[in-house]
Amino acid sequence: MPDLSQHASQLRAVADALEAQSDPTNDPFAPHPDTLKIINGRHTNRGQINYAVPDDLQIQRRIRRFHADHGIQHGDIVAMALDTFLRANGYPPDLKLPNPDVP
């Protein structure tokens, strides 16, 4: 007979993975709350990414303009956009967020 606690653990893992994939709001472009916690964190380590994108899409110009209009930093714009895209396609991050209930 299968161990019910093992099945419950597997179901919890699936539920956690599904929750990590998408934000439960109706806005598919809304950043995930965990993503915002990381971006807004004071001690967030940052790494550089560098990908060649088609010039015709004017990505860099559009990012600069969005930054000027909304005040969101360039790297944060890119991080939120890529995170939203990857989560929507089934690639959530494996985050180790601090537990606010533990002193």
Q: How many domains does the chain have?
A: 1
The answer as to whether 93 is a domain residue is no
Structural domain of 76: 4-42+49-88
DSSP track, the chain: ---HHHHHHHHHHHHHHHHHH--SSS-TTSPPHHHHHHHH-TT-----------GGGTHHHHHHHHHHHH---HHHHHHHHHHHHHHHTT---------TT--
The answer as to whether 67 is a domain residue is yes
The answer as to whether 73 is a domain residue is yes
The answer as to whether 36 is a domain residue is yes
**Per-residue pLDDT tens for 64-91?**
999 999 999 999 999 999 999 998 888 9
The answer as to whether 95 is a domain residue is no
The answer as to whether 94 is a domain residue is no
Q: Report the range out of 41-45, 61-65, 92-96 with the highest average pLDDT.
A: 61-65
The answer as to whether 97 is a domain residue is no
pTM listed for this prediction: 0.66
